[in-house]
Structure 1
Amino acid sequence: MNFFKRILLSLVLVIMIPFASGCSSSEESAEDVLKKYYNSIENGQYKNAYECLSDDVKKDLPYDIFTEYYDVVSQTAKFKGYAPGGPKEIENVNEAGSVKYKKAVVVPVEEIFEQIESGEQKKIKLERMLVSQDGKYRLVWENNMRRFLSDYYVGLANKAISSDEPDFDEAKRQIDMAAQKDEKNPAVYYYKAILSNQKKDYDGAFESIQECIEIQEKELAKIDAAIAEGASQPLDAKRKQTIESISYAYNIKGIIHGNRGKVAEALSSFKKALEYCGDNQYAKMNIDRINVDTH
């Protein structure tokens, strides 16, 4: 049986958008380098800003991804400045149990940006770390630009299928773009599952949603491990968001099971969704529908 004639779906992508700026001679302080970076970004001088990044960051972050990131950011918000706090020097920065950087400086900053559509100003407080490489300070950019870009295209896909006249072909094009930016983005597989389900390719939909769940459960395990080890950065909000995302993924898995005629498996998936997030109204509604249909 066709389990649902109509599926109401909504994905809210909450993206914290960071801004920054460009690089250093041997005499420049960490604060000077950070200022150059922000100024370069504000003036659209991306090449100068990119040169301020550490070698490790540039190795994993191609220049084209870096520039595309800021091109996308500039479509939604305008950088209005930043306010640095007092720098703090640290030694022997560890990663995976070994010393990665012998010397670093952490600078707390408050970034100010303005939403283009609403004109609303927002401030983001965070810490920027600069490390000493060959006697010069370089910025360690911790934000995942690939994931940000991937989420951006996922958002366009969501917009395409949430309009009054859904365009599933356009949604697929945007999801393909999202996958090119970050093939491990669970939201990519979430939407692949939705699109396959819409085409009644239930096997493909099941494979995609299973991949989505596996990626997110691994991410949750990493977050829990970091919290257990006393991670310096607050991870409670990220943990909550990940748990909610897993819950919604299990709800989609239940829908797919239902469309395959597997009612017991569908019910199990909906209940699993509620185990992760008891406030998942979609899962509750779907359990009620099963109870009505089977009694």
Structure 2
Amino acid sequence: MSSPPSKRPARTHTRVRRDLELEAGTSAHYEDPAYYTKTYRSRLDDVRFYADYASERGGPVLEYGCGNGRITLPIARLGLDVTGVDLSSEMLADLRARLREEPADVRARVRTKRGDMRTVRLDRRFPLVFCPFNAFLHLYTRVDVERFLARVREHLAPRGELVFDVSIPEPEELARDPGRAYATPRFNYPTPDGKGMPVRYTERFDYDKLRQILFVAMEFSPVAGGDAWMTPLAHRQFYPRELEALLHYNGFEILDAWGDFDRSPPTRDSITLVLRARARRR
């Protein structure tokens, strides 16, 4: 007597739950390249650091989170090839516009790829991989970090190096009252006509201590009246020893740890951590 045919288990589809707050906090700050450029135009220490290090080490360079070329272009102007990866189509479009104003030899040295740094595959290897200006802080979970570091390993040439910087968590900032708006001086928000629009600017900070994510709400109110708007930003907070463990258990060794872009050692007063790492030999 034959046994009844076994029933094949029903196929189930696991739907990944989208976190719209995190998605907005990852992308919104980069949707207006003109504002981004104005905001960070005086931030030059990291630009000099990455350009100098690339010049010393030699290219080509892979840059994750290249944005609109704040670091990409100075490296290319030194005669080094740079491949920039970024998720923001707006920032990459602005980078391409900036490239059109560069000499032909600089334009030829820059390649761009829109995509997620956890998944993008370029089928080539680089002696230097950069992830500057807190781009690493958009890796919100352990799995995000693991996927990113796996892509880095795939793209590193033998003895190649990963160099990146992050803000060190500041307890006072994480403890701020999320209900309080912290005011800063008024400024001219860039507009397409080039005249700018005077705005009042405030920030709110809301720290999720379970996920170690700091949510920043950047609030803009036109001085002359009109609709106000808010731009969210979400940054994962990584502590130095946590980063050391994540790198170690994903097959990397830290070669240098600096407390600023002048390559000075970290101290208890450092607000930035710059790490230089290499994949361990298997």
Determine if the TM-score, normalized by the shorter chain, exceeds 0.5: no
The TM tier, using the shorter chain, reads: under 0.3
Larger relative CO (CA 8 A, sep 6+): 1 or 2? 2
Please give the TM-score of this superposition, normalised by the length of structure 1: 0.25
The structure where helix makes up a greater share of residues is 1
